Amino acid sequence: MSYPLRWMNSYVLHSASGVVIIDPGPHNSVTEEEWKKALEHLGYTLEDVSGIFVTHHHPDHYGLAGWFQSQCGAQVYMSQRAYDESLLMWGTDTDINVKLKLWLQQHGLPDELASQIEQHLLDFIPQVSPMPDITIVEKESHLGLGGLSWLVIETGGHAPGHLSLYNEEFGIMMCGDAVLPQISPNVSLIPGSDPEPLYSFMNGLMNLKQYEVNQVFPGHRHPFSTFQKRIDDLLAHHEQRLIEVEKLLIQSPQNGYEICTTLFPNKLSLHQMRFAMCEALAHLQELVRRGKVQSSISILDGGIIFTTT
């Protein structure tokens, strides 16, 4: 994958009852062949895959689930909230590409970038097609996968309905993108989704911190063992970002795009800009929730401006 993610981790759990794959990756012709070779290397075929567990709806995690199901009839496990989010983003009757474009324009995204948003989102649909039939997994339930018992933990922020799997016996956490080493999971505010994603993300981190974890298997970068410290670092990072944003608004009222380009000064691709802009707006919304910032609509152009209270 492109920087800073670099690659996407999939995990194979195997037992006498078959193979379960956690987060199979995005769907394209290359990943189909990669999986066939990987399974052959492990001594399996597609027919041995009995289940696909999806931590969240993002294409790099969810995309191949429907393809696997079409090949071997595997059950696809996902939270109801994550499935709803997949329909919001990739469903046949969604208009999120239009809504997101107009919404980002209202927050100051220049027209030359906003004009590319609609097609940009449509370009992801092949990566998640075909969409699977879902077996809904309830939070705080237990799943038997790969010969082990896993507690299902639901958190939000990075993606609504994100599921992690925790095995208490060995202290193993399969956490998708809820906690990543070295890089901070993106937290995006988008229309129609979680209205307070940073608040959800930080609460989710506090929930995850209570578990005794020896080894963490994340969705990106290498497995690691410093789970509680990494959570503390992520919480501190976002608190610092909130301070930075508030200081910028003390200097002058600004829109979301102006805040974004200060927080993320490097040249960004359209894909990176979308995530950066939505993350800046997530921080602004958290400051609104805390009563430190307020938003108003400009009488000049209808844009949204943020000021300190």
In a domain, 65, yes or no: yes
The whole-angstrom separation of Cα 175 and Cα 48 is 24
- Give, as one character, the DSSP assignment of residue 185: P
The total of structural domains in the chain comes to 1
In a domain, 79, yes or no: yes
Cα–Cα separations (whole angstroms), residue 12 to 18, 19, 98: 10, 7, 37
In a domain, 304, yes or no: no
Amino acid at 265: P
Q: What confidence tier does 15 reach under pLDDT thresholds 50, 70, 90? A: confident
pLDDT single digits (tens) 91-115: 999 999 999 999 999 999 999 999 9
pLDDT single digits (tens) 238-277: 999 999 999 999 999 999 999 999 999 988 999 999 999 9
Boundaries of domain holding 114: 11-293
pLDDT single digits (tens) 33-54: 999 999 999 999 999 999 999 9
In a domain, 1, yes or no: no
The whole-angstrom separation of Cα 284 and Cα 256 is 8
Among residues 211, 143, 147, the alpha carbon closest in space to that of 179 is found at: 211
In a domain, 49, yes or no: yes
Residue 231: its pLDDT value, please? Answer: 98
In a domain, 308, yes or no: no
219-240: b or e for each residue (b if 16 or more CB lie within 10 Å)? bbeeebeebeebbeebeeebee
In a domain, 78, yes or no: yes
In a domain, 305, yes or no: no
